[in-house]
């Protein structure tokens, strides 16, 4: 596998030298529409402001995210909301069209994921954490990890290998409460200030009106947006700012180990 996307050190170098990509493309691969907006939209906004090309992808279309619609109508509604939210920051939305609650790590879903990565050629990837509270999230995380490692190999897909294809920087996003599936706190490697981006992030999340309205009806409050803002404020307090997002960087063999988010956006290492 040939890495074409980085300047400076090799992916495994960890001597503190700044290593940046020549291809500025970021991709989130999450399970459902609204996951990216909830967990990492502030950072995506900051990257877009620096001229990065942004792609927001989901494995499923959100076909179980309703109490009243059939699966086809809600899928259309939710993917439409996802496209509108992505468009707010000039991003492109993709869906692999698996089914809510039935996301699995198998040959078909791996193939779809690799082909998506092949078309986009990301140098920076975000996905769900390992040990998340929902199995769809865990499976999406595995798919993102597999595709990030494999997509640059010429024989991995029938699609052409684009200039800049490589093993990208890979980050796991936070969970809604900052805990893993056993209730243990997740210790981030990276905190990013999104104070100036919080209102735009809120607008992107609120674009998923089908979920917001359902939770309003169910809970009687705008809990959906409020919960995101509370978590952002809590993380911001940890770094002395109004709002922040948290990440854990994947630093295994062949992956870049310098913290590109901190190098590009400032922030704080955990």
Cα-Cα end-to-end distance for the chain: 31
Q: How confident is the prediction along the chain (270 residues), in pLDDT tens digits per residue? A: 444 455 433 344 444 455 778 889 999 999 999 999 999 999 999 999 999 999 999 999 999 887 888 999 999 999 999 999 999 999 999 999 999 999 999 999 999 999 999 999 999 999 999 999 999 999 999 999 999 999 999 999 999 999 999 999 999 999 989 999 999 999 999 999 999 999 999 999 999 988 877 666 655 656 888 899 999 999 999 999 999 999 999 999 999 999 999 999 998 887
pLDDT of residue 9: 37
Q: Are 73 and 62 in contact (CB under 8 A)?
A: no
Buried (b) or exposed (e) across 54-85, using 16+ Cβ within 10 A? bbbbbbbbbbbbbeebeeeebbebbbebbbeb
Q: Are 54 and 162 in contact (CB under 8 A)?
A: no
Q: Minimal CA–CA distance to 36: which of 48, 22, 24, 19?
A: 48
pLDDT of residue 6: 52
- Whose tokens are 């990216």? That residue is 36
Q: Are 27 and 122 in contact (CB under 8 A)?
A: yes
- Can you list the domains of the chain with their CATH numbers? 25-269 (3.40.50.10320)
Token pair recorded at residue 31? 């399970």
Residue 21 is classified by DSSP as: B
In angstroms, the CA 216 to CA 42 distance is 23
25-30/53-58 β-pairing: parallel
Kindly report the pTM of this predicted structure.
0.92
pLDDT of residue 10: 39
In angstroms, the CA 187 to CA 166 distance is 27
Q: Where does the chain have alpha helices with state H? A: 35-39, 41-49, 71-87, 107-120, 135-150, 198-206, 209-219, 223-239, 260-265
124-127/25-30 β-pairing: parallel
């Amino acid at each position: 596998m040939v890495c074409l996307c980085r300047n400076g050190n090799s992916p495994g170098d960890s001597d503190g030298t700044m290593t940046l990509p020549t291809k500025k493309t970021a991709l989130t691969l999450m399970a459902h529409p609204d996951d990216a907006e909830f967990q990492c939209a502030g950072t995506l906004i900051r990257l877009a402001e620096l001229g990065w090309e942004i792609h927001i992808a989901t494995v499923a279309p959100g076909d179980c995210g309703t109490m009243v619609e059939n699966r086809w109508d809600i899928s259309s509604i939710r993917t439409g909301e996802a496209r509108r939210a992505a468009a707010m920051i000039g991003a492109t939305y993709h869906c692999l069209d698996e089914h809510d609650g039935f996301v699995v790590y198998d040959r078909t879903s791996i193939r779809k994921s690799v082909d998506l990565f092949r078309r986009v050629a990301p140098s920076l990837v975000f996905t769900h954490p390992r040990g998340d509270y929902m199995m769809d999230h865990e499976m999406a995380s595995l798919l993102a990890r597999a595709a990030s490692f494999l997509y640059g190999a010429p024989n991995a897909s029938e699609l052409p290998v684009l200039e800049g294809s490589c093993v990208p920087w890979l980050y796991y996003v936070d969970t809604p409460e900052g805990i893993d599936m056993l209730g243990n706190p997740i210790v981030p490697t990276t905190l990013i200030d999104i104070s100036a981006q919080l209102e735009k992030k809120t607008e992107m999340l609120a674009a998923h009106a089908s979920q917001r309205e359902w939770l309003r009806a169910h809970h009687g409050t705008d809990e959906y947006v409020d919960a995101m803002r509370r978590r952002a404020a809590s993380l911001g307090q940890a770094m002395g700012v109004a709002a922040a997002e948290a990440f854990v960087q994947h630093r295994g063999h062949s992956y870049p180990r310098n913290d590109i988010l901190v190098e590009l956006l400032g922030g704080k290492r955990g």
